[in-house]
Chains A and B, each alone.
Chain A
Amino acid sequence: MSDESIAAPEVLPPPEKHVGTGGAVTGAVPWIDKSGAIGGVFKGIRSLFSGMKVTVGYLMRPSTVITQQYPENRETLKLPDRFRAQLAFNHDDNGYHKCTMCRICEEACPNVSIIITGREKPAVSKKEIDSFVWRLDSCTFCNTCVIVCPFGVLRFDGTFESSVYDRRLLAYTLNDYAGPVASVLEKIEDPEARKAAMEKRDPYGAHTIIEALAERQRAKKAATHAAYAAAKAARIAKKEAAKAAAEAPAAEPAAEAKDVG
């Protein structure tokens, strides 16, 4: 019985190019030789006992337990820097961000989890961000927004406990304030003027923006459907015309000429 498993493959031997650097491995199967009835039984039983030795080894060594008791070990639980849990804005020591509202991240996001709105009346510069909305509920944590951002505004941080009771709260406003970027703010000498240019933003206040967007989307979808239907009708009409034209020429070549005209 054991010979079978070590025998060379009979069908379709591996082509030579596969052998290359290492070659194909066959055989060396740790197969229990059951050629002798009694001996085979004993070997089989021994294999069972060696398995039992492995498991009892772990039972005897409680140090091998790897369970982490999660809520209790919050203090010691350290997630790596790159861990993708929640998108966050990089605010510098003054609390200023660098987002210029270039919308590269919004465009790169595969599923519209980032929605950026600009201030209607910018205080200082030409374009100022109003809200940077990130939808955790539709985010796939692909990290694309972080790597495409030319100013390093975004980062993923390890705050992974983000459950809430209302799913509308899963849309976060990431920027602390609506207003110009750090470089512009730093040019303003007067601290009062700086404060006036900045407007506080609530991290959980994004759902109004999303609802407005959804409304727009519904309207657009209706329009798209109408466009699809029109395109389909046009295609069918074109096809009908072509068919008619294909059938027609034998009978009425003049009619075709009229159509073309």
Chain B
Amino acid sequence: MSWQVKTMAERTGDLLPGSPWTAVLYVLLTILAVTAFVTLCGLVLIYAERKVSAHFQCRLGPMRVGWHGLLQTIADTIKLLLKEDIVPRDADALLHILAPVLSFAGMLLVMIALPMSPSIQVADMNIGVLYVTAVSGLGVLGILLGGWSSNNKWSLLGAMRAGAQIISYEVSATLALLVVVLFAGTLQLSGIVQSQETGWWIWRAHGCGIVAFSIFMIAGTAEINRTPFDLAEGESELTAGFHTEYSGLRFSFFFLSEFLNMFVLAAMASTLFLGGWMPLHVGHFTVFNGIMDLLPPGLWFTLKTSAVIFLIMWFRWTFPRLRVDQLMRLEWKILLPIGFVNLFVSAACVVTGFYFFAG
């Protein structure tokens, strides 16, 4: 079975010569769709986090607004929108206002490159992996600016921690990505997904895949500032870290981008290592693969992403936080060497064709 990949950008291109106004309308619709998706995704993720954490902790979580608290997040959003938006007197007002937007924009830009199904992808760049890595680095700018402009020592500490942490872990995450790029032979995200038609990279590479996946998950969790790497927030140490001085809408931007970063991480992990929207295929067992193809690719993507998100939540509600020097040690002394060795081994595998269903 071959997959017809058609992104929204391509469709716009198709429309452009014939009916340019339709193309413009299509672009606008796409923007609307992405915004709607981001909002909806944020709502669902926040609700899921609250429910999952509650049941990890023998609680019920939100139960009052709507059936089993389904509308709780919406109520919270309204509350956040109605709250007073405070910019501290001594803060750098422009940067203070700019920071959450930057943080949000970084996440939003990654969102357009994610292949969610053969037909749901905004733009399919041939340097997709590079683009994602580069653009997701924008988020740290928002955090740094937010912490610095708040003119609060706790915020500054949080921002500095975040800066050091995110930039360090970016190295390991990229090394892990490169493993998949090596195996797939392309930087294009849809190409990487299609390269997993005979199986996911997590198991096809004799362990290299699983090591790269582990590194990617650890480094990714650190990049999105979640426990056990939530030093930038560290509510028991820094009260709330970089967003101590934020309130109302601006706080919700930080909050939302934190949750959507989790989605982006999970989506990237599933795209690169778990086949993205590609159903579970094993080699050329056509019957098995055919049964798996019965589920639509979009659902596969959702399932895999949800599983990875659950894993990240599971980490958060089980582990305590690392200390700042231990965090750096973990990156530079453990993850990075392992990542390098893993990359070399993968390169050797690719060169010799020593992996499952090669060629």
Let me know if chains A and B touch directly in the complex, using CB atoms closer than 8 Å: yes
Query: Digit string of A30-56 for contact with B (CB within 8 Å is 1, else 0)?
Result: 000000000001000000100110111
Q: Are B58 and A55 in contact, CB atoms less than 8 angstroms apart?
A: no
Residue A59 at the chain B interface, CB threshold 8 Å: yes
Among B56, B60, B319, point to the contact of A58 (Cβ < 8 A).
Answer: B56
Q: Are B318 and A65 in contact, CB atoms less than 8 angstroms apart?
A: no
Q: Are A66 and B318 in contact, CB atoms less than 8 angstroms apart?
A: no
Q: Are A55 and B314 in contact, CB atoms less than 8 angstroms apart?
A: yes
Kindly state the separation between the CA atoms of A54 and B56 in the bound complex, as whole angstroms: 9
Residue B55 at the chain A interface, CB threshold 8 Å: yes
Q: Are B60 and A59 in contact, CB atoms less than 8 angstroms apart?
A: no
Q: Are A59 and B319 in contact, CB atoms less than 8 angstroms apart?
A: no
| Total count of chain A residues near the partner, CB < 8 A | 15
Residue A183 at the chain B interface, CB threshold 8 Å: no
Residue B323 at the chain A interface, CB threshold 8 Å: no
Q: Are A51 and B319 in contact, CB atoms less than 8 angstroms apart?
A: yes
Residues of A within 8 A of B319 (CB): 48, 51
Q: Are A58 and B58 in contact, CB atoms less than 8 angstroms apart?
A: yes
Query: Digit string of B49-62 for contact with A (CB within 8 Å is 1, else 0)?
Result: 00010011111100
Residues of B within 8 A of A58 (CB): 55-58
Residue A69 at the chain B interface, CB threshold 8 Å: yes
Residues of A within 8 A of B63 (CB): 69
CB distance from B1 to the nearest CB of A (A): 36
CB distance from B72 to the nearest CB of A (A): 14
Residue from A51, A52, A64, A69 with most neighbouring chain B CB atoms (10 Å): A52
Q: Are B60 and A69 in contact, CB atoms less than 8 angstroms apart?
A: yes
Q: Are B318 and A59 in contact, CB atoms less than 8 angstroms apart?
A: no
Please report the number of residue pairs spanning A and B whose Cβ atoms sit closer than 8 angstroms.
35
Q: Are A56 and B58 in contact, CB atoms less than 8 angstroms apart?
A: no
Residues of B within 8 A of A67 (CB): 58-60
Residue B355 at the chain A interface, CB threshold 8 Å: no
CB distance from A43 to the nearest CB of B (A): 14
| Total count of chain B residues near the partner, CB < 8 A | 14
Query: Digit string of B287-306 for contact with A (CB within 8 Å is 1, else 0)?
Result: 00000000000000000000
CB distance from A186 to the nearest CB of B (A): 52
Kindly state the separation between the CA atoms of A237 and B9 in the bound complex, as whole angstroms: 97
Residue A62 at the chain B interface, CB threshold 8 Å: yes
Among B59, B60, B318, B334, point to the contact of A55 (Cβ < 8 A).
Answer: B318
Residues of B within 8 A of A56 (CB): 56, 314
CB distance from B244 to the nearest CB of A (A): 29
Kindly state the separation between the CA atoms of A41 and B60 in the bound complex, as whole angstroms: 35
Residues of B within 8 A of A41 (CB): 334
CB distance from B310 to the nearest CB of A (A): 9
Q: Are A65 and B55 in contact, CB atoms less than 8 angstroms apart?
A: yes
Kindly state the separation between the CA atoms of A202 and B55 in the bound complex, as whole angstroms: 48
Kindly state the separation between the CA atoms of A54 and B57 in the bound complex, as whole angstroms: 10
CB distance from A60 to the nearest CB of B (A): 9
**Nearest 8 interchain pairs by C-beta:** A67-B60, A55-B318, A55-B56, A59-B55, A52-B318, A64-B58, A67-B59, A51-B318
The 19 listed contacts between A and B (C-beta, < 8 Å) are A48-B318, A51-B319, A52-B314, A52-B318, A55-B317, A56-B314, A58-B56, A58-B58, A59-B52, A59-B55, A62-B55, A65-B55, A65-B59, A65-B60, A66-B58, A66-B59, A67-B59, A67-B60, A69-B63
4 new A-B contacts, CB < 8 A, other than A41-B334, A58-B55, A67-B58, are A48-B318, A55-B314, A58-B58, A66-B59
